[in-house]
Amino acid sequence: MKRPRALLLFSEGLDSILAGKVLQSQGVEVVALRFITPFFGWHWKGCEEEFARWVSEKFGFPGAVVDLTEDFLKMLAAPGHGYGRAFNPCIDCRILMLKRAKELLPVFQADFLATGEVVGQRPMTQQRNTLRHIEKEAGVTDLVLRPLSAKKLWMSEPEKQGLVDREKLFSLSGRGRKRQLALAKEFDLKEIPSPAGGCLLTDPNLAQRFKKFLDWKGEFTPREAELLTFGRHFPLENSWLILGRTELENKKLMTLAKEEDTIIKIQDLPGPTGLLLGEPTEKDLKTAAKLLVRYAPKARGVKKVFLRVKRPSSTEIASLEIA
């Protein structure tokens, strides 16, 4: 007889790990599905095999990484349920994830969806009525099992069909972690991860940057979204300047640069790399040059600094002299 299989929305946090372990303990096969965008989970981009190996060795789940960026960015520009305190469209994000996960059920030959959500743990998305609303909006009504809070919720289809035993599920609620930590000990988890999260869209400082960029351009491309997650940023008259803060960020800027971008560097002195999105005016170039010098310690006090302005292909456009 085929064992039931669950597609688990896996955040790498303790709750999603425990949800998978609870299902495993009932003989359910668990596939850990890690959604990523430049704002969360991006360290797994290009490392899909490494993720599968890690999640298998650590927790005994097969795993898969799914890049949600393009659909996520369309939603982010105008989320139907608005933003949280920063720039986080948590309700619409959850709806999008569940919709995509439902589409992937036949791909992974899974019978139902599972999450590590705990009733009342997060005010925006994990209230009982909100969980129900999200299910309906995503078209997954009763298809989602939340093992840690199942007894606080309505009976899901996997429970009705006998794929899991409801009596062996839990009734956790609220923001405390005492019961989760006890469960982790029962499942002999050697390392206890911090509460899942880490979405950059919840960072108040970064949120302001994302909002300003959206006001400036009206949309995000996947590359622009990644560029917005690091470096120093300066909206200019007709362009957007990004300065690398470290050698690693300078290299990353060059890796992400396209032919239509403008690159600006200090000649013969170490300092940040600058990348300009858009069509910089002469005023923009002069402002960018001054900012470049400001953040280049080796250039301070030098009477004349020459900067190279070029395209990523290294074809020089112009040289600027900052006295």
Final residue before a domain boundary, out of 157, 186, 215: 186
* pLDDT at residue number 311: 75
Secondary-structure percent of the chain, ordered helix, strand, coil, rounded to 5: 40, 20, 40
Residue ranges making up the domain that contains 313: 230-322
Side chain identity at residue 306, one-letter code = F
92/235 same-domain check: no
* Rg (the chain; Cα; Å): 24
173/76 same-domain check: yes
150 assigned to some structural domain: yes
176/77 same-domain check: yes
* pLDDT at residue number 323: 61
200 assigned to some structural domain: no
Pair 193, 139: CB distance under 8 Å: no
193 assigned to some structural domain: no
220 assigned to some structural domain: no
Write down the pTM of the prediction: 0.91
244/171 same-domain check: no
Give the pLDDT confidence of 106-160 residue by residue, as tens digits.
Answer: 999 999 999 999 999 988 899 999 999 999 999 999 999 999 999 999 999 999 9
Look at the chain and report how many structural domains it folds into. 2
119/264 same-domain check: no
Residues in the chain: 323
* Distance from C-alpha of 295 to C-alpha of 274, rounded to nearest angstrom: 11
Mean pLDDT in order along the chain per 10 residues (323 residues): 93 95 98 97 96 96 97 96 94 98 98 97 91 98 97 97 97 93 93 76 94 94 97 97 96 94 87 93 90 87 71 68 66
21/157 same-domain check: yes
162/298 same-domain check: no
Residue found under tokens 């950059």: 200
Nearest CA to 173 out of 196, 198, 150, 141 is that of: 150
Q: Please give the share of the chain, as a percent, with pLDDT higher than 70.
A: 94
181/246 same-domain check: no
* pLDDT at residue number 195: 62
Final residue before a domain boundary, out of 164, 186, 208: 186
* pLDDT at residue number 5: 98
62 assigned to some structural domain: yes
120/253 same-domain check: no
253 assigned to some structural domain: yes
213 assigned to some structural domain: no
Strand partners, 144: 113
CATH number at residue 145: 3.40.50.620
141/271 same-domain check: no
56 assigned to some structural domain: yes
Nearest CA to 17 out of 32, 4, 28 is that of: 32
159/238 same-domain check: no
* pLDDT at residue number 322: 67
Final residue before a domain boundary, out of 124, 158, 186: 186
32/171 same-domain check: yes
